[in-house]
Amino acid sequence: MELKHFISDVSAGAYAGRVVSSAARTKSPVDRVRYAVCLLAVVGVFYVSSVLGPSVHGDAALIGAIGFLLLSGTLLSELIELLGLPHLTGYLLAGVLAGPHVLNMIDAATVRRLAPVNTLALALIALAGGAELRLDQLRKGLRSLLVATGIHSTLGLLLGAAAFLAVRSFIPFARDLSWKAACAIALLWGVLAVSRSPSATLGILAQTRARGPLATFALAFVMSSDVVVILLMALAMMFAKPLLEPGSALSFTAFHALGHEVVGSISIGTTLGLLLAIYLRLIGRQLIVVLVALGFGASEVLHYLQFDPLLTFLVAGFVVQNLSKQGDKFLHAIEDMGAIVYVVFFASAGADLDVPLLVDLWPIALALAATRGAVTIAGARASSWIAKDELKLRAWSWAPLIAQAGLTQGLAGLVEREFPTFGAPFRALVIATLAINAIIGPILFKLALDRSNEARSAIAPLSESEEATS
């Protein structure tokens, strides 16, 4: 079973928006007006050219799409900052509006051709996400992390499955199923309900430069919980198959493939991390070239060897940070080239969002998303009480757990391949629910960081050294 999307996710955004200068926090009304005028001009020119101009395809369309998403996403993120919304939301909205389902300024074929940019972004994201995990911080919050993982994995899975069964009479592909089959599908849904989004989490942490118990917990839990979700999905599929396909026997094949991928990826990631640490220590130049080579070349090689590039890069970043003194230098190198790539990454994700599907399925999707949110809040409160967390975590530890993204979508695709009889409508419902969580989750997490006074952009100016790096 693939870990592919384990971090469409490990953090599309690990430093997206981290390059925020102190001037960006004190923009005047005149600056905002300029942004609005520029945004209208960019959208107007691109829209007129796409509607009235000659049809453009191929590389020209791709370059134009990248430029437009970068400009519109950046400008829109600055404007919605007035509402207290995260930059990530602006990137997504720019992509949704420009995408094939709304204004159609960027067609579906061009969106698909943005995949190489996404490959590079995910590599940078995974490297930065691993480098953000520090052993000393993990040790301090180990009790909270273990308790939260146990409660969310069990309570979230069971109640998520129960919610699916409760509304199954309103779901066309599930209403006429036998009770056994419905329970099997509900089990699969329950696993997806406990998946999180490292991409959104790290995107918000990067923008706010948050530091504190909530930020540390969010980073550690969201990153580690997705590994748990992958294992749970393998287990759920093993038990679901006999219920959905009478005569089928329990099979441990999925665990064998998963073990090969996980162990191999961790081993290669450890080696890669040590090599990167040595390079940073002895040479330390042309890091952008190294990162591009890893993002494109190494990713393809790892795919060919049937290892997961994202988990490999995550481990590599963790090794650089915790087994060497090159962690900060490594993060700054990613920061130097990551800001532009991440804007395009999130904007293209918005362009790829199937808006008509969300319109068709929104009542059921909203009900399931709301139930998941309520279960997440209840689980967070229970785990914080059991672990005797400080008040800040008791109040807000649920906030980073609402968003969903690439891992959820990847696992839904796996279900579609394994169970073709209901896989397509199941995946459609997952994506509709995911869209709601992807939009609401980052907003709630940023609100929690602001309210808990951990967002440094809200409580303190940048230091001189931080200004220099931005």
The tokens for 384 are: 């914080």
Buried-state track 275-291, b at ≥16 Cβ within 10 A, e below 16 = ebbebbeeeeeebeeeb
Q: Letter for the amino acid at 148?
A: A
pLDDT score of 6 more than 50: no
Query: Nearest to residue 372, comparing CAs of 135, 244, 175, 195?
Result: 195
Residues 308 and 325: their CA atoms lie apart, in Å, by: 26
**25 and 461 in contact (C-beta within 8 Å)?**
yes
- Residue 57 has a pLDDT of 63
- Residue 3 has a pLDDT of 44
Residues 295 and 298: their CA atoms lie apart, in Å, by: 6
- Residue 248 has a pLDDT of 62
pLDDT score of 260 more than 70: yes
Distances from the Cα of 181 to the Cα of 130, 159, 178, angstroms = 39, 17, 5
Q: Letter for the amino acid at 99?
A: G
Q: DSSP per residue over 211-243, as a string?
A: -SHHHHHHHHHHHHHHHHHHHHHHHHHHHHHHH
Q: Which helix (H) or strand (E) holds 387?
A: helix 355-387
Q: Letter for the amino acid at 368?
A: L
- Residue 9 has a pLDDT of 43
- State the chain's mean pLDDT as an integer: 80
DSSP state at residue 390: -
Q: 16-25, 248-257, 330-339, 355-364: which has the highest mean pLDDT?
A: 355-364
Question: How many degrees, rounded to 5, is the angle at CA 452 between CA 446 and CA 458?
Answer: 65
Please report, to the nearest 10 degrees, the dihedral formed by the alpha carbons of residues 269, 313, 209, 204 taken in order: -130
**428 and 246 in contact (C-beta within 8 Å)?**
no
Residues 455 and 460: their CA atoms lie apart, in Å, by: 9
- Model pLDDT for residues 325-380, shown as the tens digit of each residue: 888 888 888 877 766 777 887 888 788 777 887 788 888 999 999 999 999 999 99
- Model pLDDT for residues 384-396, shown as the tens digit of each residue: 999 988 888 999 9
Write down the pTM of the prediction: 0.77
- Residue 147 has a pLDDT of 92
Question: Which residue segments constitute the domains of the chain, with CATH numbers given?
Answer: 22-115 (no CATH), 118-469 (1.20.1530.20)
Q: Where are the alpha helices (DSSP H) in 422-462?
A: 423-451, 456-459
pLDDT score of 224 more than 60: yes
- Model pLDDT for residues 53-91, shown as the tens digit of each residue: 556 566 677 788 888 888 888 888 888 888 878 888 888
**462 and 21 in contact (C-beta within 8 Å)?**
yes
Q: Which residue carries 């409508």 as its tokens?
A: 425
Q: DSSP per residue over 316-343, as a string?
A: HHHHHHHSSS-HHHHHHHHHHHHHHHHH
Question: How many degrees, rounded to 5, is the angle at CA 232 between CA 231 and CA 238?
Answer: 95
The tokens for 318 are: 């963790």
Question: How many degrees, rounded to 5, is the angle at CA 130 between CA 231 and CA 120?
Answer: 95
Residues 187 and 306: their CA atoms lie apart, in Å, by: 27
- Model pLDDT for residues 126-169, shown as the tens digit of each residue: 787 778 778 887 787 788 889 999 999 999 999 999 999 999 88
